[in-house]
Structure 1
């Protein structure tokens, strides 16, 4: 692992809550009274947020979970739908923050889907929910073929990881650096829950229709999952919440929080401040 990953790991507070036959791993940075919970993408881990943690934890107590079945977290029981993934997270955040909890929620890709379902379960405990590069909104998803990695080793495996990052995650190949490859390798090794089967359909849309919190959306303009029509995704969200706050980062791909971290961090912090100002809470 790179020094950048090691440094954030060393500064994190680590917590565990029950999940299936094991536990969910939670990491926290910062000590502000306001809380922001982050949920990473499919076949991922908290490391998806590597380039965002310092900026966001300067304003919030930042909590990043490894979603059940991914990273260090145990498999969810059954998992017939996304609520089966979200429920142990809801139980865990209640344990960590208590009955009077109030927190912002942001999720990337598959984590956006889980965030919608978690927000539906948590009701007024959630101050806002921000979906990043979300699918499962009832719209067509462009076909995408990724290289198989598990049968490769050494340089061939690293090259396959780099190609998959270029095809799905990062639009600008020059930004596929050693750190992103280290993250991809770790995530690939630790992914047991197959989230791609939950990426189609309209499950996020249906969950967000039950959410009481205001909704925000962030996409990369060239997001492979949404291209060529990011605006259609935003239209779905506006139908659910006419107060939608949205931002599209020009030239960026799916893993927009890593590819364009400064613009992403600024947009998310602006959204959360606006939501707090509008509610006074």
Structure 2
């Protein structure tokens, strides 16, 4: 499928239609998941956690790259996308417990899996990895805050009251400030995803990301750790290289990579780098057939 030939919503709908939808308990409501499986249930499972103010759509350029070698399970995290708010307290460990229980319900409590998290999703990946121990084969974090010194506060413009072209243009401004370093990579699909995600964002994820939960969880991991940061990751201070070096010092055995000339939403902006790197990282802990 050619991203440039299809309407953005058609691209989203086409990929979503290939998945099976699942719902698991979350607070007083439900958590929504999508499972892509082109292996007939035989491939190992990779669980992808999106970023703050996001949804499964953050992974739109990663999911197809993992198929059919992997079963790809992607939630809308609690309080984001289609999923309802988590129960109180809404701290990282409590939310991770809801998420980990949801995974158990969908793939079974004995099935091992890898977790991959972008930004706030990196906190979820680390916390789920710490919670489930050796059952989690590997933990990969991409563009995650909370590693090393606190990152920069990126000023975003309010969009919910805007309409039409003004709303569209403001999303592009916000994407350029926070998510994507190269303005030429901010295409219509990125704006459509940003708009859908922003409208449905209710959980205050920045506070959770900066709470220190990710490093506490990383210290408890029993599985290999991988990481990636964009060189020009806006929330990091002073950008991606510091995060890479901090984690390398903290976890010398981790595979940590810097993505050149790339911003925060690296999986979207630089899929030609991120997807092969992720497949390489996941391949090292992939079960032998």
**TM-score normalised to structure 2 length:** 0.92
Which of the residues 214, 228, 237 maps onto 2:238? 228
RMSD: 1.6
Contact 1:208–1:240, Cα closer than 8 Å, also in 2? no
* TM alignment of 1:145-224, pairs within 5 A: 145-224=155-234
Size of the aligned set, in residue pairs, is 279
CA-CA distance at 1:201 after TM superposition: 4.0
* TM alignment of 1:40-189, pairs within 5 A: 40-189=50-199
Q: What stretches of structure 1 of length at least 5 have no aligned partner?
A: none
Contact 2:236–2:243, Cα closer than 8 Å, also in 1? yes
SS of the equivalent of 2:220 reads coil
Contact 1:170–1:256, Cα closer than 8 Å, also in 2? yes
**TM-score normalised to structure 1 length:** 0.94
Structure 2 CA distance, aligned partners of 1:255 and 1:51?
A: 11
Contact 2:31–2:84, Cα closer than 8 Å, also in 1? yes
Which of the residues 11, 17, 20 maps onto 1:13? 20
Contact 2:137–2:223, Cα closer than 8 Å, also in 1? yes
CA-CA distance at 1:72 after TM superposition: 0.7
SS of the equivalent of 2:141 reads strand
Structure 2 CA distance, aligned partners of 1:58 and 1:230?
A: 31
Contact 2:138–2:224, Cα closer than 8 Å, also in 1? yes
Structure 2 CA distance, aligned partners of 1:14 and 1:80?
A: 25
User: Residue 258 of structure 1 corresponds to which residue in structure 2?
Assistant: 268
Please say if 1:29 is aligned against 2:39.
no
Contact 1:221–1:227, Cα closer than 8 Å, also in 2? no
CA-CA distance at 1:206 after TM superposition: 0.9
